[in-house]
Amino acid sequence: MRNTAKITTAVLAAGALTLGLTACGADKDSGSDTSGPLIVAASPTPHAEILTYVKDNLAEKAGLDLEVKEFTDYVTPNTATEDGSVGANYFQNQPYLDDFNKKKGTHVVPVVTVHLEPLGLYSHKVKSADDLKSGATVAVPNDTVNEARALKLLAANGLITLKDGAGNAATPADITKNPKKLKFKELEAAQTPRSLDDVDAAVINGNYAIEADLKPAEDALVLESAKDNPYGNFLAVKEGNEDDPRVKKLAQLLTSAEVKKFIQDKYAGSVIASF
């Protein structure tokens, strides 16, 4: 990817490939130095792709010097934003960020919501969710919010029933009815696509589905509804940096008509603009 530094990181707690961490290559003050480029940490797909479109087509005209750094996990972008290694990140949703800030003591806040990646249930073994046999094994992400989100998806499609009040920390222990006697295999979110040959079905985050050449709008057995969905992905910064003029410029560009058309044309319903 042009001028895009690729970074792999060691998985610390939530959804990640087990890879070695390479140096960020950014000055620790890059998050607060508004005179330099705005360095944004992002998941490769679709976040870094969207940012690279902005960098290549919109940023120069808007007077924004934008640098994109790719991370393959769901932890380091927030810790790098917190410590100033990067000025912003773009990869996550509000329930995940709330849980992360609470557990890690970080102070990352959203700036603007850009898109939704519908969570989906996929299988190499059955053609529909109804075809799952009794005792089938379903892989789900093992981080708190995405596991709960996966269980809510299954519940919304009648595969299980969750107890009343099961929220963003729901686990299989909160299942009250399981007519197919489904078994659950908890995996790091990035590993769920790789599990499809070993399990009967897997609930996969949209970005990892796309990276695995799955087409959520076509291949998912069941897919999250975009209506009133709380899991939109947003640009985020460390608290206090919301008024950074570079951040404001990027927020405007990410919610422009040009970016909406890019999302629609490139992802064909597998990623949905939220603005």
Answer with the one of 200, 223, 246 that is the final residue of a domain. Answer: 223
Model's pTM, two decimal places? 0.74
Q: Are residues 196 and 235 in the same domain?
A: no
Q: Which sign does the torsion angle of CA 79, 48, 244, 22 carry? A: positive
Q: Are residues 28 and 114 in the same domain?
A: yes
C-alpha separations of 25 from 30, 35, 132, 166 in Å: 10, 17, 47, 42
pLDDT digits 0-9 by tens, 182-222: 999 999 999 999 999 999 999 999 989 999 999 998 999 99
Residue 223 has pLDDT above 70, yes or no: yes
Residues 64 and 83: beta-carbon distance below 8 Å: no
Q: Are residues 214 and 250 in the same domain?
A: no
Q: Are residues 10 and 113 in the same domain?
A: yes
Residue 1 has pLDDT above 90, yes or no: no
Residue 24 has pLDDT above 70, yes or no: no
CATH number at residue 207: 3.40.190.10
CB atoms under 10 Å from CB of 258, counted, come to 12
Beta bridge partners of 70: 6, 42
Q: Are residues 114 and 124 in the same domain?
A: no
Q: What is the pLDDT of residue 181?
A: 98
Q: Are residues 219 and 259 in the same domain?
A: no
Q: Are residues 237 and 206 in the same domain?
A: no
Q: Are residues 113 and 124 in the same domain?
A: no
pLDDT digits 0-9 by tens, 100-139: 999 999 999 999 999 999 999 999 999 999 999 999 999 9
**E strand segments, 190-252:** 201-204, 222-223, 233-238
Query: Structural domain of residue 44, as residue ranges?
Result: 4-118+229-273
Q: Measured between alpha carbons, how far is 40 from 51 in angstroms, rounded to an integer?
A: 9
Q: Which sign does the torsion angle of CA 269, 274, 259, 147 carry? A: negative
Q: Measured between alpha carbons, how far is 31 from 39 in angstroms, rounded to an integer?
A: 8
**Mean of all residue pLDDT scores within the chain:** 89
Beta bridge partners of 42: 70, 90
Closest C-alpha among 97, 117, 116 to residue 107? 97
Q: Are residues 21 and 31 in the same domain?
A: yes
Q: What is the pLDDT of residue 268?
A: 86
Question: Given its phi and psi angles, is residue 207 left (phi above 0), alpha (psi -120 to 50 degrees) or beta?
Answer: alpha
Mean per-residue pLDDT for 215-239? 92
Q: What is the pLDDT of residue 23?
A: 35
**Structure token pair of residue 129:** 């969710």
Out of 22-36, 117-131, 154-168, least confident range: 22-36
Residues 96 and 141: beta-carbon distance below 8 Å: no
CB atoms under 10 Å from CB of 73, counted, come to 26
Q: Are residues 151 and 243 in the same domain?
A: no
Mean per-residue pLDDT for 246-270? 96
Q: How confident is the model at residue 33 (pLDDT cuts 50, 70, 90)?
A: low
Q: Would you state the torsion angle of the CA atoms of residues 218, 18, 114, 2, taken in this order, to the nearest 10 degrees? A: -90
Q: Are residues 114 and 241 in the same domain?
A: yes
Closest C-alpha among 31, 3, 9 to residue 22? 9
Q: Are residues 174 and 193 in the same domain?
A: yes
Name the residue with tokens 């405007």: 252
Q: Measured between alpha carbons, how far is 1 from 233 in angstroms, rounded to an integer?
A: 21
Q: How confident is the model at residue 30 (pLDDT cuts 50, 70, 90)?
A: very low
Strand 120-122 to 175-177 pairing: unpaired
Residue 31 has pLDDT above 80, yes or no: no
Out of 19-28, 82-91, 111-120, least confident range: 19-28
Q: Measured between alpha carbons, how far is 87 from 29 in angstroms, rounded to an integer?
A: 9
> What is the tally of structural domains in the chain?
2
